[in-house]
């Protein structure tokens, strides 16, 4: 890939600005839908000038659902037992910081994946492949650990 360091630095800065501005969607404190996350990673893709299919982005987002969210998943199971149908309401009330941390971790991890594409380590069409998903999960887990410390 033929990209200079200044151009890459500008892309990273612009993408980081999107991630750093992550707040709760209005009316849904702490609740991030797949569509909100999709909008964020789609904007990051645009900044890096990487064309990724919608299905591929949704697969990436879904791949992070099971990473590092043990307490969240345990609480979610309890809520499903005691308050079926009320998940969005309870999740927003109980886990606003966890939802924000997950969204930011996903955005930052996806920036790292896009950076590897621009540096030629990963091909754009490999983003949603097993290799791309594994890479995203590694970066995502690192970001979650940083967010907890």
Question: Residues 26-48: pLDDT tens digits?
Answer: 555 445 567 778 889 999 999 99
Residue of higher predicted confidence among 145 and 72: 145
- Inform me whether the pLDDT recorded for 141 exceeds 80: yes
| Domains of the chain by residue range | 5-19+31-68+95-148
Q: Return mean pLDDT, the chain.
A: 79
Would you state the structure tokens that stand for residue 63, as one six-digit string?
A: 């791949």
* 44: exposed, middle or buried (Cβ count in 10 Å: 0-12, 13-18, 19+): buried
Does this model's pTM top 0.85?
no
Would you state the structure tokens that stand for residue 50, as one six-digit string?
A: 């990487």
- Inform me whether the pLDDT recorded for 71 exceeds 80: no
For CA atoms 43, 72, 112, 12, give the dihedral sign. Answer: positive
First CA to last CA distance, the chain: 35
């Amino acid at each position: 890939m033929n990209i200079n360091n200044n151009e890459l630095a500008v892309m990273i800065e612009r993408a980081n600005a999107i991630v750093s501005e992550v707040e709760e969607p209005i009316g849904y404190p702490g609740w991030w839908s797949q569509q909100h996350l999709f909008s964020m990673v789609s904007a990051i893709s645009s900044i890096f000038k990487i064309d990724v299919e919608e299905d591929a982005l949704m697969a990436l987002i879904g791949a992070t659902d099971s990473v590092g969210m043990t307490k969240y998943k345990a609480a979610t199971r309890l809520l499903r037992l005691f308050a079926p149908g009320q998940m969005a309401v309870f999740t927003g009330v109980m886990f606003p910081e966890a939802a924000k941390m997950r969204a930011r971790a996903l955005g930052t991890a996806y920036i790292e994946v896009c950076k590897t594409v621009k540096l030629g380590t990963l091909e754009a069409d490999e983003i949603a492949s097993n290799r791309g998903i594994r890479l995203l999960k590694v970066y995502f887990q690192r970001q979650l650990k940083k967010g907890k410390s």
